[in-house]
Amino acid sequence: MNDLTLMSKNLWRKPVRTILLIVSITIAFLILTLMLSFNHALNNVNTLPTRMVTLSKINFTESLPIAHYDRIARTEGVAVATHMNWFGGYYQEMPRGFLPVFAIDPETYFQVYAEDLQIPAAQRDAFFNERTAMLAAAPVAERFGWRVGQRVPLRSNIFTNATTGADTWEFTLVGTIPTPAGSSQTGSVLIHYDYYNETVTFGRDRIGWVPFLTTSAQVNDRVANAIDQRFANSQDETSTQDEATFNKSFAAQLGNIGLVITLVVGAAFVAILLIVGTTMALAVRERTKEVGVMKTLGFSSDRVLRMVLGESLLLSFLGAAFGVAAGAGLLSVLAAGGGGGPQISFAPIVTLWAALIAMALGLVTGLPPALQAYRMRIVDAFARR
Amino acid sequence: MTDLIRLTDVEKSYTRGKEKIAIFDKLTMRIEQGDFVAIMGPSGSGKTTLLNLLGGTDRPDKGSIEFDGKNIEKLSEGKLTAWRSANVGFIFQFYNLMPILTAAQNVELPLLLTRLSPKQRRENVATALKIVGLEDRAKHRPRELSGGQQQRVAIARAIVSDPKLLLADEPTGDLDRTTADEILSTLQTLNRELGKTIIMVTHDAEAAKFAKRTLHLDKGRFDERELAA
Ligand SMILES: Nc1ncnc2c1ncn2[C@@H]1O[C@H](COP(=O)(O)OP(=O)(O)OP(=O)(O)O)[C@@H](O)[C@H]1O
Ligand SMILES: [Mg+2]
């Protein structure tokens, strides 16, 4: 037996109460884990300082004429430009089969996103040379059990295939893209713009947006101004930003959701704080006499304080550990089970945050009863009331 | 015989609201090493207060308390706490065991304050439980034990770190006659065979007969003849 044994025995004195407390702390930390991982996924895509993007000034769902692309590519300071279209793709059924499918110009795309497209030359060439070829992020292929060489029918919830009149296109999977943490290709499926453009019934010769590399980050502002001024007062005005700013403004669009989540998590933690705080205070008050006995036996006030504090820390760390584990488990189940969009994976940094918050929660809820126990005089602990 | 305890001109009062209630006024007494003293007296006469002063769980307002030739009344809080764990064993009327711990763990509790190894601690716990005749109840929780058995565990806890002085505040106040007598003979044995000095507060004249002598306390004063004897 040691002080830790005593602390945990005290903690489990009323098992139902303790389990309820742990469950509520677990839920708070589960929400925290999901929120932080979501936030982390949004904010931690690798960016290149020289990578910029031009899109419609109206908003990023508005398309641009293909002629814009040539002009942007020829702008001074632009090293290489590419273009992308949103295909509105899914596999078999929505929403489970939702996929971010992009119709792209392969050769320039591979230059602009070179660092995230390290795939075998044979697969790359197969993709370049076959108009109906398709590349998929490795986790996507794995999720749907696609093999390289397999023909995959993808559907669009926007476009109709002019050749068949249906919403289905057939592609051949010629390779997979490994997507380490932060890769810009997480979750992506890439198809040829040319093939897409020839087979859609509307929106021909329009492009979604134009990512490009500048010759140096120093010319970014100049390039952006040149491009946007070039198209000012035209039918299709543009907005050009560097990649980091673009990602941030994209995240900001989701920011309102983020605020709501933050408020929910905040409210959950305030509630937990009050519940755990009052319960701990009550638990220690119930033990007034036992604290008196401990002190009589020769346990110092410091030691009694540490033991009460240790108990509340134990409680909040147990709840935090379960909550983070549950969150990580839930995220991996979600990732394995499909559901579209960029995959949100468990961010290990969450563990650190959870530990800090658990520490704060344990101290804040444990300190008042710990101080009460610390100050308690033996004669008062035994006083008849 | 040498004196284990010497109280000199001890004063103690409590304030309740604005009222100041004097409990002891210049109390002087001595208790010899190896004595077994029963203290009797009406409720409110100061018996518990006296035990608190002797055991260092409370301090006198004035006067000195010597234990084994050393003054304890001016020790710092920390030193007094350490002194208490080394020199005094406490036995309460309502046992005051930790409900969450087994009998053996309750007895082990004071040993957490020593440097003994876990093995030595186990041995001491076994010895203490054996002395009170409860070696077969080591794994029981307090609520699985009778009142008498709980008080035995409490006695084992009080003697496990081998203190010189045992303080018992109405140790049989909650027990029937037979059980009380068993507990009292155990205390008597501890006094006679292990040489523990025992000071026991009791309301029960029968219980007091187990002690070597009885002191009567009334309104904070002892019967002078008894004290002198
Ligand atoms: N912490 C305290 N604060 C104020 N007054 C106290 C306190 N402790 C004891 N007293 C008062 O001091 C007096 C002596 O109390 P004490 O507990 O020593 O009596 P006692 O002889 O042990 O009585 P009993 O036989 O009922 O246990 C009583 O009048 C009591 O009300
Ligand atoms: Mg009393």
Nearest CA to ligand 1 atom 19: B44
For residue B153, the enclosing domain spans: 3-228
Q: Which of B24, B39, B48 to mutate to test the pocket of ligand 1 (most atoms within 8 A of CB)?
A: B48
Contact B88, B57 (CB under 8 A): no
Which residues of A, range 299-318, sit inside 8 Å of B by Cβ? 299-301
Q: CA-to-CA distance for A375 and A301, rounded, in angstroms?
A: 7
Closest CA to B107 of B158, B164, B182: B158
pLDDT at A250 over 70: no
pLDDT at A341 over 50: no
pLDDT at A248 over 90: no
Q: Each residue of B12-24: pLDDT tens digit?
A: 998 888 898 899 9
Would the CA dihedral through B201, B203, B204, B209 be positive or negative? positive
Mean pLDDT of A274-290: 92
Q: Each residue of B100-156: pLDDT tens digit?
A: 999 999 999 999 999 999 999 999 999 999 999 999 999 999 999 999 999 999 999
Contact A220, A203 (CB under 8 A): no
Q: Each residue of A137-168: pLDDT tens digit?
A: 998 898 899 999 999 999 998 999 998 989 99
Q: How far is CA A184 from CA A70, B7, B192, in A?
A: 24, 83, 85
Q: CA-to-CA distance for A124 and A135, rounded, in angstroms?
A: 9
Which residues in chain B are contacts of A379 at CB distance < 8 A? Answer: 52, 57-58
CATH number at residue B52: 3.40.50.300
pLDDT at A339 over 60: no
pLDDT of residue A139: 86
Mean pLDDT of A110-132: 94
Q: CA-to-CA distance for A311 and B139, rounded, in angstroms?
A: 24
Q: CA-to-CA distance for A267 and A94, rounded, in angstroms?
A: 34
pLDDT at A71 over 90: yes
What ipTM does the predicted assembly reach? Answer: 0.94
More confident residue, B200 or A1: B200
**Domain-by-domain residue ranges, chain A?**
3-43+256-383, 51-252
Would the CA dihedral through A294, A296, A298, A301 be positive or negative? positive
Query: Is this model's pTM higher than 0.80 or not?
Result: no
C-beta of B93 in contact with ligand 1 (< 6 A): no
Mean pLDDT of A207-233: 95
In chain B, the number of structural domains is 1
pLDDT at A342 over 60: no
Give the count of beta carbons closer than 10 Å to the beta carbon of residue A135.
29
Would the CA dihedral through A168, A174, A180, A184 be positive or negative? negative
| Residues whose CB is less than 8 angstroms from the CB of residue B17 and which lie 6 or more positions away in sequence, other chains included | none
pLDDT of residue A340: 44
Nearest CA to ligand 1 atom 25: B43
Q: Each residue of A343-366: pLDDT tens digit?
A: 677 888 899 999 999 999 999 999
> Among B96, B105, B119, which would you mutate to test the A interface (most chain A Cβ atoms within 10 Å of its Cβ)?
B96
- φ, ψ dihedrals at A139, nearest 5°: -65, -30
- Helix H or strand E encompassing A51: strand A51-56
Interval between CA B48 and ligand 2 midpoint (Å): 4
